[in-house]
Amino acid sequence: MPYFRIDHEVSVFAPRRCARDLATSLGFDRRAAIELAIAVTELGSNIVKYGVRGGITVEPSSDPDRGVGVQIIAEDEGPPFCDFEIALLDGCDDRGPLDPMTFLKRHGIGAGLGAVKRFTDTITLEPASDGVSGKRIVVVRYLKR
């Protein structure tokens, strides 16, 4: 269960590669492996932008009904989401729709978590593992969708 500390944009490359390589070793096709790598990149960039400090864990997953998969856990010590469901919508942050005039300043268009949701089969928000501060996003992509 590799854990990758994320403290700079460059820190995202190692977990991205790990997710892609793990997916390939489990039998995912090239496109699915790349989609998982994109999901890791989006989660990692959110840690850098909003999370204060945190990390990503990439590990194999197995479900009795759905089979083998790749689980990605992104955890940070940053502020909680105002509304996680709204943050999953393209063009929104956790408070609602974004003003297009702010995209450049934000370094994004508000589609990152939406992409994570599209490229994985499950996405859940949990309290941080210490139960006190921060948050944890857990996603899984299964080989058989």
CB 124 within 8 A of CB 136: no
Residue 105 has pLDDT above 90, yes or no: no
Residue 67 has pLDDT above 70, yes or no: yes
Residue 110 has pLDDT above 90, yes or no: no
Q: How far apart are CA 46 and CA 135, in angstroms?
A: 12
Identify the bridge partners of residue 76 per DSSP, sorted by sequence position: 54, 135
Q: How far apart are CA 139 and CA 145, in angstroms?
A: 14
Q: How far apart are CA 14 and CA 31, in angstroms?
A: 19
Give the mean pLDDT of 16-44.
98
pTM of full prediction above 0.85: yes
